[in-house]
Amino acid sequence: MNALKEENRSEEAKNEAKRGFFEALGEQIGATLLGDLGKDIGKTLGEETDKTNVGKVVNYIVDNLVKIFYSWW
């Protein structure tokens, strides 16, 4: 049984859960180091990394893990 009903899940939360791993990681590291500018740079670099074969494999794994844990909500 899901603890959070479908109607209470926002589109923003769903999209955040599906974001690329490297995009999210780059954005967080950039924001920590350089604030908003670093966040934008990290996000851009992460998006590009997500497009590589390594990024695709990592995203596939992360996406499947997200689906497993997200279904518990």
pLDDT digits (tens, 9 = 90+) for 39-62: 999 999 988 988 889 888 888 888
Q: Which residue has the higher pLDDT, 73 or 61?
A: 61
The residue to which tokens 């589109």 are assigned: 11
pTM of the model: 0.58
Q: How many residues does the chain have?
A: 73
Nearest Cα neighbor of 42 from 12, 57, 22, 15 is 22
